[in-house]
Chains A and B, each alone.
Chain A
């Protein structure tokens, strides 16, 4: 964030939103991330900003029939179509800052 802000000339901008993409198959709990962010930015140049989180679904591909599916823990992440083990993950591992919304002062 600091590097990005320096490029934009930090003193001349106000960050409104930091938009994140967080996959369902990560070790990140969105509410904890939001609470931590809010605590961390108190009194800083990001004090008035907020983070938004777009949750990216956990999606796998059946290695037998190539169908996409949403793996479930209860089913051992196996494909419902062919009951195959989860080999390929299509999405759900994302941990990204997708974009930053800001205004120029």
Chain B
């Protein structure tokens, strides 16, 4: 045996995922298709938000959904009722979507519709505030939901998720009168974790904040298409 040799690598552990995410993004760009990665804890209201969002959004923009779910197609079935292309991605025991799964989902979507005809692809990630934050999937923007029933401290407890987000939606604000919840403390915790993020308070029941959310999406689509 010879003496040990040290080979400098300096390689990202997630480089295979990052490479695939970059390929996904190139595909989205070639299709002129804006892609949002929607993330939150389980039960924060991602699917309900998408249902209510797509009721209006799909009248203005050609929309599709990749629906990440660990074990069921229940969420995908809910969204299919809106008559838009929906592809379920069942992750099995994996607690997040990765770029390879999204690539597979995109191939299935291509069989349903020519993505050139689409304006926006909404990808609902698996409910989890940890792993999805580390795995790029090729998205243009990350949207994190945080429901007020989860507590004001979550941006501090799960800082990477909220640090990575371009937009943070504070959901279920219709429950504010019924809870002992300090929304200013939550906003302060968001600001200290990610001062650059856009923040919108929203309710999928009363649809308060939906005008701002729809406006945010519309502006992103139009800017993307004009570039």
Chain A positions within 8 Å of B, measured between CB atoms, are: 4, 8, 14, 16, 19-20, 25-28, 73, 76-78, 85-87, 89, 95-105
Say yes or no: is B58 at the interface (Cβ < 8 Å to chain A). no
Give Cα A82 to B164, complex, Å. 24
Q: Which of B154-190 contact A (CB under 8 A)?
A: 156-157, 159-160, 163, 188-189
Contacts of A73 in B (CB 8 A): 156-157, 159
Say yes or no: is B227 at the interface (Cβ < 8 Å to chain A). no
Give Cα A57 to B68, complex, Å. 33
B11 adjacent to A96 (CB under 8 Å): yes
Contacts of B195 in A (CB 8 A): 85-87
Q: Which of B13-29 contact A (CB under 8 A)?
A: 13-14
Given A26-B134, A27-B134, A97-B11, the answer on whether A76 and B5 have CB atoms closer than 8 Å is no
B133, B134, B156: which contacts A76 (Cβ < 8 A)?
B156
> How far in angstroms is the closest Cβ of chain B from A31?
16
Give Cα A77 to B192, complex, Å. 6
Given A27-B130, A27-B134, A105-B1, the answer on whether A99 and B192 have CB atoms closer than 8 Å is no
Contacts of A78 in B (CB 8 A): 192
A87 adjacent to B188 (CB under 8 Å): no
- Chain B's interface size range is 20 to 34
A95 adjacent to B14 (CB under 8 Å): yes
A16, A96, A103, A104: which contacts B10 (Cβ < 8 A)?
A96
Q: Which of B43-89 contact A (CB under 8 A)?
A: none
> How far in angstroms is the closest Cβ of chain B from A85?
4
A103 adjacent to B1 (CB under 8 Å): yes
Q: Which of B191-205 contact A (CB under 8 A)?
A: 191-193, 195-196
Give Cα A78 to B195, complex, Å. 11
> How far in angstroms is the closest Cβ of chain B from A83?
10
Given A77-B193, A85-B192, A87-B195, the answer on whether A103 and B5 have CB atoms closer than 8 Å is yes
A25 adjacent to B160 (CB under 8 Å): yes
